[in-house]
Amino acid sequence: MENIVVKYTDEVTLNDPILIEGLPGVGNVGKLAAEHLIDEIGAKLMAEIYSIYFPPQVLVNDDGVTELVCNRLYYARDVGEEKRDIIILTGDYQGMTPQGQYMLTDKLLKIGNEFGVKTLFALGGYGQGSMVNKPRVLGAATNKDMVEEAKKIGVVFDREHPASGIVGASGLLLGLGNKLYDIQGICLMGETSGYFVDPTASREVLEVLISLLDIDSISFEALDDKAEEVEELTSKVMDMDLGSNVGQDTKSEHLRYIG
Amino acid sequence: MENIVVKYTDEVTLNDPILIEGLPGVGNVGKLAAEHLIDEIGAKLMAEIYSIYFPPQVLVNDDGVTELVCNRLYYARDVGEEKRDIIILTGDYQGMTPQGQYMLTDKLLKIGNEFGVKTLFALGGYGQGSMVNKPRVLGAATNKDMVEEAKKIGVVFDREHPASGIVGASGLLLGLGNKLYDIQGICLMGETSGYFVDPTASREVLEVLISLLDIDSISFEALDDKAEEVEELTSKVMDMDLGSNVGQDTKSEHLRYIG
Amino acid sequence: MENIVVKYTDEVTLNDPILIEGLPGVGNVGKLAAEHLIDEIGAKLMAEIYSIYFPPQVLVNDDGVTELVCNRLYYARDVGEEKRDIIILTGDYQGMTPQGQYMLTDKLLKIGNEFGVKTLFALGGYGQGSMVNKPRVLGAATNKDMVEEAKKIGVVFDREHPASGIVGASGLLLGLGNKLYDIQGICLMGETSGYFVDPTASREVLEVLISLLDIDSISFEALDDKAEEVEELTSKVMDMDLGSNVGQDTKSEHLRYIG
Amino acid sequence: MENIVVKYTDEVTLNDPILIEGLPGVGNVGKLAAEHLIDEIGAKLMAEIYSIYFPPQVLVNDDGVTELVCNRLYYARDVGEEKRDIIILTGDYQGMTPQGQYMLTDKLLKIGNEFGVKTLFALGGYGQGSMVNKPRVLGAATNKDMVEEAKKIGVVFDREHPASGIVGASGLLLGLGNKLYDIQGICLMGETSGYFVDPTASREVLEVLISLLDIDSISFEALDDKAEEVEELTSKVMDMDLGSNVGQDTKSEHLRYIG
């Protein structure tokens, strides 16, 4: 097999599409946001990407049926007031090694480039290491114009954050996109504790995204329901922490898998 | 050398064969099952597979003669009531890295594909982390039909197990087989503690397999003898645990190598 | 993408240039020295090198703009009394794996070779594991003539240091340069504690370098200012060590990033 | 650069040569033996092998001159009563990864094969984990004939040793040699504690080797001197262990580098 295999499930032509990435990461903020967006705008699967850079693993769904771990590309047409075509990237894992990260990101940019992508939005979380009450959305972009535009709607560009830069698929999409494919991009990072999946941070990130994209307001109901569920479970876990350790592991485990 | 070298020891043509995999893994359940089946149906060696993805190692047999670590393919013709041809895959190791797992599995599927394989059975153990009295056989398959068929003869499809999917050769054979080679498959996992080699779990898995394949009943004597041997040694180890630690390591070590 | 991508930012022809390397390493001695030299002689960027052997990361500058991590080549013409052309190599990281180190160094030597490089100077630190009051400059070279020449101006060739040889880009530039490209070279290592960035060691290394290259004396003001800043912070940290641990981590962190 | 670069320093034709390997390993038994043999029979350097599978490192000799780490091939003609041509393989390191081990060993076998090698001897140590008074020489070979021949002169073929086979270059030379190049071989392992370099074990291995090769008796003086030096230092270290820990590390370090 090739190191990366792209299997198109739909023959698609798109008009000047933008690329939105939400892969697993801190608090699963980016993945939750991407999946919510896919649901709300009715995006359709266009390709699956298998790779030796992913873990050698199948997932098993509720029917007992296996699915090879992969990344997935979805598309939607005429989204929002500006009628933009959109490609959304999400998946089960990011590449497992630095080399894998580079190779996968480069492949995804190549695909985006073929479809005419000129702009991308990388969604993720920024782990604060402590509970976050009202998550801000931190940003970094490949050029000053995008920085300025995002500042206007409240995205925070803080010279201390992220201190060590942006690691992983979000960072590389911006870095390689800019240097090798002339694709400009911005990374939107919702503040999160980093301890749990965080649908609240995902919502904040999505609000910024739909504002930047002039997408008609979308419903956040499903995301809010998840946030509530997490809230409930974290409260219980914290109560238990004060009481005893019995059962805690199972609950924490559960928490991580919501979404 | 190529990253993977296939050395055929026999020129074979097979008729619509099924592929059965039993490589080392949890409790060595799959490997023991595959080796027992090879013995009972008199399967013959058809190929050895060497690879840079295995450890750089030779094993030394009782005569002091070295053998390069490898995977091995065996074949048998006209097996069971349905006179099916069978290829059995076993070996000393699975690939040592994710990339190695992908590359080896893909190569094995390519070989299977050339021989006309359309269906595969991946045998393995499911580590429960505690002693298992009456091991169930858990399953996962590439499609709902195989799930339903296996359910009828008692295979358990439990949405909690395996929670994180199936990792390694068994998982990839199903995942890559389904996505890249149009080969359908089922993974049969015998419950086991995960602490010792477990011939009892292997027997349970084999009973399911021969039922699914309509193979005439085979003898389990050799496997039962091994199970008894393990049983005796584990009892001793447990007795010693209650007494002292002297000699325990050696016995435990011994246990792991039965089979 | 290629494993290593070289992006020239300037079309340059050089006359018999020498190559000077200062990549991140112990005490960042080499990198600080290279960057100071670039500033003082007004060297200009000629190429950026991206690679799968670097971390999958972008850095974010004070404007919120991202930069893909890379190595950079600078050049300057007619430097010093001997009017030598110079190429200076610095960057954000060294290769992350042994294979990456070999591949990147080989690529850099190939580039140097194309520009006609016959001699190289590798700048770095030698970690003593304890505070160093007056750092010496230790050396190692690809041939005896360079050793003798450097001894004359005070470079120390001590059979105990470095006991285990020179690891990383500096070592490989000498080793591969000598064996595969007929490029001769010397490594100049400023003694440093290894605990902090060390502009003082960088200055010592630079003094040796400009003496060997007959470069007119350059100003060390910027480097001395940094040294003072580090001095102040380390004193504070040490005072705090005697007092309490509060705030120490932050200061130490800060220290590492000066430069 | 190629992943493995072979640089011949001498154009050599050899007559039916045998290959003797002594690379770094447990107690450096094989390397010491190979180096002693090179000295005693006056073998000459024929090739150096550089590789991305070695550490990215140069060693520094007593003159301050750097040497890229490598493996080395030496040759000697008309050795012993049977006037055999010999190739001796030694070096600074073995490959650092499983893949590197396979690739390097395969390359060395390819070279041996081109020179007409049909038989090889892999020299090494067998770490017992406790002090060994009179080291035996353990063996493993690619065929029964070699096992029987070696048994006659006292080589021990013990079904418990080595229990887990032979890992690294020695094992692979036998395994890959036998399977891919039709080269037969035997591995001779001198028992050693594994804590220090062990010239005594090297001598035992060499005595077996020269007996198997009908080489006229060679002097062991240099090896015996080293053994005495190690003996002295180990005694001191052990005395100190009973006394205090001061200075112990330095001595132990020194011990490891004899040879």
Task: Label residue A231 by pLDDT band (50, 70, 90).
Answer: confident
Q: What residue in C sits closest to D60 (Cα-Cα)?
A: C165
Between chains, do C176 and D7 touch, taking CB under 8 Å as contact? no
In angstroms, the CA C19 to CA C118 distance is 8
How distant is the Cα of C87 from the closest Cα of chain D, in angstroms? 22
- Quote the tokens at residue C155: 């470079």
What is the model's pTM? 0.91
Mean pLDDT by 10 residues, chain C (259 residues): 95 96 97 97 97 97 95 96 95 97 98 98 94 92 97 89 86 98 98 93 96 89 92 78 46 42
CA-atom Rg of chain A in angstroms: 18
Q: Are strands A166-167 and B184-192 parallel, antiparallel or unpaired?
A: unpaired
- Name all domains of chain B by residue range, CATH numbers in brackets: 4-220 (3.40.50.10900)
The pLDDT, as a whole number, for residue C241 is 56
Task: Label residue A87 by pLDDT band (50, 70, 90).
Answer: very high
Residues in D touching B92 (Cβ below 8 Å): none
The pLDDT, as a whole number, for residue A63 is 92
Q: Give first-to-last CA distance, chain D, whole Å.
A: 31
Between chains, do C162 and D66 touch, taking CB under 8 Å as contact? no
User: Which of A49, A58, A65 to mutate to probe the B interface, most B CBs <10 Å?
Assistant: A58
Task: Label residue D89 by pLDDT band (50, 70, 90).
Answer: very high
Q: Using the CB atoms, write b or e for B145-159: b if 16+ within 10 Å.
A: ebbeebeeeebebee
Residue D216 exposure: Cα atoms within 13 Å on the Cβ side: 7
Whether B250 shows a pLDDT value over 50: the answer reads: no
A198 near A31, Cβ under 8 Å? no
The pLDDT, as a whole number, for residue B216 is 78
How distant is the Cα of C144 from the closest Cα of chain D, in angstroms? 6
How distant is the Cα of D183 from the closest Cα of chain B, in angstroms? 13
The pLDDT, as a whole number, for residue D256 is 41
- Quote the tokens at residue D250: 């330095």
Whether A192 shows a pLDDT value over 50: the answer reads: yes
The pLDDT, as a whole number, for residue C252 is 43
pLDDT tens, position by position, C73-92 = 999 999 988 899 999 999 99
pLDDT tens, position by position, A14-41 = 999 999 999 999 999 999 999 999 999 9
The pLDDT, as a whole number, for residue A161 is 65
The pLDDT, as a whole number, for residue D252 is 43
The pLDDT, as a whole number, for residue C83 is 93
* Alpha-carbon distances of A216 from A42, A189, A211, B35, C151, rounded to whole Å: 14, 22, 8, 62, 73
Task: Label residue A240 by pLDDT band (50, 70, 90).
Answer: low
Q: What residue in A sits closest to C49 (Cα-Cα)?
A: A179
ipTM of the complex: 0.90
pLDDT tens, position by position, B104-128 = 999 999 999 999 999 999 999 999 8
The percentage of residues in chain B with a pLDDT greater than 70, rounded to a whole number, is 90
The overall average pLDDT reported for chain D is: 90
| CB-nearest partner of A179 from C60, C64, C68 | C68
The pLDDT, as a whole number, for residue C236 is 80
D205 near D186, Cβ under 8 Å? no
pLDDT tens, position by position, D122-156 = 999 999 888 888 999 999 999 999 999 999 999 99
Whether A238 shows a pLDDT value over 50: the answer reads: yes
Task: Please report the number of interchain residue pairs, chain A to chain B, with beta-carbon separation below 8 angstroms.
Answer: 91
pLDDT tens, position by position, B150-183 = 999 999 998 776 677 999 999 999 999 999 999 9
Task: Label residue B249 by pLDDT band (50, 70, 90).
Answer: very low
How distant is the Cα of C2 from the closest Cα of chain D, in angstroms? 14
| C237 vs D: CB within 8 A | no
The pLDDT, as a whole number, for residue D202 is 97
The pLDDT, as a whole number, for residue D255 is 44
D170 near D124, Cβ under 8 Å? yes
Q: What residue in D sits closest to B68 (Cα-Cα)?
A: D175
The pLDDT, as a whole number, for residue A242 is 55
| C129 vs D: CB within 8 A | no
The pLDDT, as a whole number, for residue D247 is 40
Where is A147: in which H helix or E strand?
helix A144-152
> What angle is formed at CA B142 by the lines to CA B139 and CA B148, rounded to 5 degrees?
55
> If you write DSSP's letter for every residue of A182-249 in order, what string do you get?
--EEEEEEEEE-SSS--HHHHHHHHHHHHHHTTPPP---HHHHHHHHHHHHHHHHHHHHHHS--TTHH
The pLDDT, as a whole number, for residue C10 is 83
Where is C146: in which H helix or E strand?
helix C144-152
The pLDDT, as a whole number, for residue D253 is 42
Residues in A touching C5 (Cβ below 8 Å): 179-180
Between chains, do A179 and C54 touch, taking CB under 8 Å as contact? no
> What φ, ψ does residue C244 adopt, rounded to 5°?
-135, 180
Length of chain D: 259
Task: Label residue A256 by pLDDT band (50, 70, 90).
Answer: very low
> If you write DSSP's letter for every residue of B151-187 in order, what string do you get?
HHTT-B-BTTBTTT-EESHHHHHHHHHHHHS--EEEE
The pLDDT, as a whole number, for residue A38 is 97
Stretch B38-45: mean pLDDT: 96
Whether B229 shows a pLDDT value over 50: the answer reads: yes
